[in-house]
Amino acid sequence: MNHHRFYRPGYPEDMALTEIIEAEGHLIDSHIMERIFDTVVECQGRFEVEKFHIGRTNSEASQLRMRVETPTKEQMDQLLSHLLGLGCVPVDAGDAALEEITRDRCAPEDFYSTTNHRTQIRLGGEWIDVQKQRMDATIVVVGHAAECRKLRDLRAGDKIVTGMRGIRVIPDTKDRDRNSFSFMSNEVSSERQVETAVSQTVAIMKAVREQGKKIVVVAGPVVVHTGGSNPLADLIRLGWVDALLAGNALAVHDIEAALLGTSLGIRQKDGRQEEHGHRNHMRAINAIYNCTNIEGAVAQGRLKSGVMYEAVKHKVPFVLAGSLRDDGPLPDTITDMNEAQNLYSAHLENAGLVICLSSMLHSIATGNMLPSWVKMVCVDINPAVATKLSDRGSAQTVGVVTDVGLFLDLLIRKLKN
């Protein structure tokens, strides 16, 4: 298809600013092309399709080349900013613009803020991949390499990508081959059968392992309250967890359950309130301090079961990120938020699947650190948790609305079978 005009609002031709943009990928079945057209209209622009080639096979991409016009530079800048996130690239953009900063943690005002999609920049006429992809970061160029870096990690002398030119974003598109990462639709639904979601999660876990990538679990204390400690401990013991990311509360209540048989003072065997049980979580924290830390409690034989016990015994790394409301906290809990974020990010490298278990705070934080091609399965009785993840840019999230203890029990049974 060539030179087909779709939309031209009325404003003087001689006042228009013009750009030629191109996009490539599964533009139709991923609904990207209609979003491109809608974006032009919403930004008070007009477009003229100069070329459109439809991919004729599963693997062949479609190609779009179009002219866009806006009445002002500000509107063109806004339009290009939106189109960039949809995979559009100005044809005559040239190399990415770089600016050397003079102060630590201070980027130029027009620095490019990243998305979680695959990104490339053009240097010396060549497109190069940006490493350590994540949302809400800058792009720093060192030699002929580029990587995402948070504002707080910028240092004087760093060369930062600015503006919108010489940047290519490659949004995730619908997988025509329907592999194990795509048959779980990215939606939040309480109607999805738990057994089906568990079976699909198991298939993804096996596929991730075959690809040599990691399975990371993000867990909240509800795992303990709903009886999910034992199946999560089994997952760790059987080698299905490569890193555990959580807060102080998961570890405290897991250790309370292991040492005293209660969770928040409620007896796990019968669900009844233990007399003076409200103090048990503090007793658990004190017990760990008396052993120096969690690893010390395991080594000394004080801690003999539970999620944290299995993590120590099987050398599964864990990060406990502190918060303002923490009791204690445990000696292993990291109260420096920057350090905790950095450790979370480090353990998420080479992850193929992240399973989030009833923790809104830590699930959303983890989603912010992940590139869009890493699948997330978010299990929570509250559908708003998975919805918030998607709304904040983690569109790869599959929401399973159910009791997390039930989900974990079914998951470990399926894996054992």
Domain count, the chain: 3
pLDDT band at 388 (very low <50, low <70, confident <90, very high): confident
How far is CA 402 from its chain centroid? 21
Percent of residues, the chain, with pLDDT higher than 70 = 88
Work out the pLDDT band at 386, boundaries 50, 70, 90: confident
- Domain with 25 in it: what CATH number? 3.30.70.2690
**Helix, strand or coil for residue 334?**
strand
Phi, psi of 98 (to 5 degrees): -120, 145
Domain range for 275 is 188-416
Residue 61 has pLDDT above 50, yes or no: yes
CATH number of the domain at 143, please.
Answer: 2.40.420.10
With bands split at pLDDT 50, 70 and 90, how would you rate the model's confidence at 180?
Answer: very low
Half-sphere exposure of 179 (CA within 13 A, CB side): 11
pLDDT of residue 13 exceeding 60: no
C-alpha triplet 347, 405, 234: angle, nearest 5°: 55
- Per-residue pLDDT band for 356 (boundaries 50, 70, 90) equals very high
Whole-angstrom Cα distance, residue 294 to residue 300?
10
Least reliable range by pLDDT among 209-213, 265-269, 411-415? 265-269
Q: Please name the residue that has the structure tokens 């080479």.
A: 350
What's the pLDDT at 184?
A: 52
Residue 86 covered by a domain: yes
- 373 burial class (0-12, 13-18, 19+ CB within 10 angstroms)? middle
Over residues 37-46, the pLDDT tens digits come to 999 999 989 9
pLDDT for the residue 38: 94
Sorting pLDDT into bands at 50, 70 and 90, what band is 240?
Answer: very high
Residue 267, in any domain of the structure? yes
User: Could you say which of 174, 200, 235 is where a domain stops?
Assistant: 174
Instruction: Say whether both 286 and 343 belong to one domain.
Output: yes
Q: Are residues 324 and 386 in the same domain?
A: yes
**Whether residues 97 and 85 fall in one domain:** no
The reply to whether 182 falls in a domain is no
In a domain, 364, yes or no: yes
Query: Taking 90 as the threshold, does the pLDDT of residue 380 lie above it?
Result: yes
Q: Is 249 a domain residue?
A: yes
What local confidence, expressed as pLDDT, does residue 192 receive? 53
**Could you read off the pLDDT of 194-222 as tens digits, one per residue?**
889 999 999 999 999 999 999 999 999 99
Residues whose CB is less than 8 angstroms from the CB of residue 324 and which lie 6 or more positions away in sequence, other chains included: none
The pLDDT tens digits for 278-294 are 788 999 999 999 999 99
Q: Where are the alpha helices (DSSP H) in 153-276?
A: 194-210, 222-225, 229-237, 248-260
What mean pLDDT comes out for the span 233-240? 98
Higher pLDDT, 158 or 266: 158
Q: Please indicate whether residue 126 or residue 266 has the higher confidence score (pLDDT).
A: 126
**154 with 201: CB under 8 angstroms?**
no
Least confident of 88-102, 150-164, 242-256: 88-102
Q: Give the mean model confidence (pLDDT) for residues 339-347.
A: 97
Q: Select the highest-mean-pLDDT range: 48-52, 93-97, 273-277.
A: 48-52
Strand pairing of 351-357 and 318-321? unpaired
Question: Tokens for 156?
Answer: 């004087």
**pLDDT above 70 (res 190):** no
Q: Name which of 163-167, 266-270, 412-416 the model is least confident about.
A: 266-270
Taken in order 244, 245, 247, 249, is the CA torsion positive or negative? negative
- Total-model pTM: 0.85
pLDDT number for residue 5: 46
Domain shared by 282 and 400, yes or no = yes
Q: What residues contact 60, with CB distance under 8 A and at least 6 apart?
A: none
Structure token pair of residue 176: 């025509």
- The pLDDT of residue 65: 94
The SS3 call for residue 283 is: helix
CATH of the domain at 321: 3.40.50.10690
Q: How confident is the model at residue 172 (pLDDT cuts 50, 70, 90)?
A: confident
User: What is the reported pLDDT for 178?
Assistant: 45
Q: Are 146 and 128 in contact (CB under 8 A)?
A: yes
Over residues 289-341, the pLDDT tens digits come to 999 999 999 999 999 999 999 999 999 999 999 999 899 999 999 999 999 99
Query: Does residue 313 share a domain with residue 343?
Result: yes
